[in-house]
Structure 1
Amino acid sequence: MLVSVYAVVHGWFNFLWFSNVALLGGLLAAWLESRRIASMMLVAVVLLELGWVLDFLLSMAVWGWAPLGVVHYMFNPEIPLFVRLLSLYHLPLPFVLIWMVWRLGYDPRAWRYMVGLGWVILLLTFALADADNNVNWVLGPGGQVQEWMHPVAWLAVVMAVCSGVWWLTHLLSAWLLPQRSIARCGRAW
């Protein structure tokens, strides 16, 4: 239901948000029992999604003011309530990905694959983005178009920051989550 509603309300371009990629990639990982895909989706979004969860919970505690500013759209009455309620998938997503990787084991190569996939997604969103569709903030922070540096320089900054977050998530995941052998886990991919 989420895919069809989002496609109608937001358009297909919306599915290039890393959170939507992780939602659909996590579904694929669960279906295939793929520790690599599950690990890639964890690396891609778990820290950012935990920030979303924190921002949402804090905004609920202080009646709509989002300290991090990433959930302001959840309080926008111009977006239908049903669509905003569908966005609550962000709440369980990081915990489901952590549980899935805990169960399947962490694939330490996942961050390399995620950097490649993530850069392709960022380049694609940069090529297709406009001021109204600033997916993954490739045109500027907070969904706004920035004007203080060349757009390609900004894209390089976004790619570097994302790569740093993915590297940090990889280090934490490799340290905290089990790394199962292929024989114990089943499929490696």
Structure 2
Amino acid sequence: MLRPASRLPLALKVLFTAFLAVMVPVYWYNYGPSNFLYFCDISLLLCLISVWTEKALPASMAAVGILLPQVLWCADFVGELLGVRLLGMTSYMFDENRSLFLRGLSFFHGWLPFLLVYLVRRLGYDRRALWAWTGVAWGLCLVAYFLLPPAGAIMPDPKIPVNINYVFGFDDVAPQTWLPAPVYLVCWMLALLVVAYLPTHFVLRRWSARRAYKGLTSELAMIRVS
């Protein structure tokens, strides 16, 4: 029996795996294991699963979760580059106490959205991704809130992350004070769903449906011609 042709090029699989083979130990050494509880790092691992299994669900989950936040990361980085502070989420990219190599690895935030769009285009969009990712993201928020260092915590190594996934506010130096912390956490989790995940889900679902329709009409046209 003939094996089905791969929908993803081998070069992509090898290069992406090689990047993670470098990034994971470097991040683990410099930032500690808790760093891998950030949404973006979880998304990288989901991409790795999709790249090798060619299953749509992991990549779809990552796309729902971080396409919009990564756009904000890029905008914040450009703002910092121009001397305009937006959210401060990329301030670490200008921290001279971190090596250029370490900071350079974080540029995956810039190309990961393009990879995710490519994966969804090639593998399709799995509509289960919305609630699958939401469950993962909310679980990560609860872990970060109850078990990991809050904003303003003094760590023995300043590179160790605090306020993971912004569960204490957007400022890592001090927690937000305009809402009680538990209320803010609930509002943040709901905002992620309503502002980021739902719109991305609807756009990807419609885009995928249109691509599927075009593919079907093309196949029907070819059948008629033959």
Q: Is 1:154 aligned with 2:175? A: no
Counterparts of 1:102 and 1:137, CA distance in 2 = 30
TM-score, length-normalised on structure 2?
Answer: 0.74
Structure 1 residues not aligned, in runs of 5+: 185-189
1:119-158 Cα deviation digits (max 9, x unpaired): 1111111122223410001112233411232221111011
Counterparts of 1:146 and 1:65, CA distance in 2 = 21
TM-score, length-normalised on structure 1?
Answer: 0.87
Structure 2 residues not aligned, in runs of 5+: 1-21, 154-161, 217-226
Counterparts of 2:193 and 2:49, CA distance in 1 = 23
Please report how far the alpha carbon of residue 20 of structure 1 lies from its aligned counterpart in structure 2 after TM superposition.
0.8
* Identity fraction in percent: 33
Counterparts of 2:176 and 2:79, CA distance in 1 = 27
Give the conservation status (yes or no) of the 8 Å contact 2:80–2:86.
yes
- Summarize the alignment of residues 108-123 of structure 1 with structure 2, pairs less than 5 Å apart: 108-123=127-142
Residue 65 to residue 155, structure 1, CA distance change in 2 (3 Å): same
**Partner in structure 2 of residue 93 of structure 1:** 112
**Partner in structure 2 of residue 124 of structure 1:** 143
Residue 68 to residue 140, structure 1, CA distance change in 2 (3 Å): closer
**Partner in structure 2 of residue 187 of structure 1:** none
Give the conservation status (yes or no) of the 8 Å contact 1:129–1:139.
no
- Summarize the alignment of residues 16-27 of structure 1 with structure 2, pairs less than 5 Å apart: 16-27=37-48
Counterparts of 1:70 and 1:177, CA distance in 2 = 31
**Partner in structure 2 of residue 176 of structure 1:** 207
- Summarize the alignment of residues 76-91 of structure 1 with structure 2, pairs less than 5 Å apart: 76-91=95-110
Counterparts of 1:152 and 1:74, CA distance in 2 = 30
Please report how far the alpha carbon of residue 93 of structure 1 lies from its aligned counterpart in structure 2 after TM superposition.
0.3
- Summarize the alignment of residues 7-156 of structure 1 with structure 2, pairs less than 5 Å apart: 7-60=28-81, 62=82, 64-130=83-149, 131=151, 132=153, 133-143=162-172, 144-156=174-186
Give the conservation status (yes or no) of the 8 Å contact 1:106–1:180.
no
Q: What is the root-mean-square deviation in Å for CA atoms of aligned residues?
A: 2.0
**Partner in structure 1 of residue 193 of structure 2:** 163
Residue 129 to residue 113, structure 1, CA distance change in 2 (3 Å): same
Counterparts of 1:54 and 1:128, CA distance in 2 = 30
Structure of higher CA gyration radius: 2
Residue 173 to residue 142, structure 1, CA distance change in 2 (3 Å): farther
Q: Is 1:2 aligned with 2:7? A: no
Letter in 1 for 2:182: V
Counterparts of 1:80 and 1:145, CA distance in 2 = 27
Please report how far the alpha carbon of residue 58 of structure 1 lies from its aligned counterpart in structure 2 after TM superposition.
4.3
Please report how far the alpha carbon of residue 47 of structure 1 lies from its aligned counterpart in structure 2 after TM superposition.
0.6
Counterparts of 1:84 and 1:8, CA distance in 2 = 14
Counterparts of 1:127 and 1:68, CA distance in 2 = 24
Letter in 1 for 2:39: F
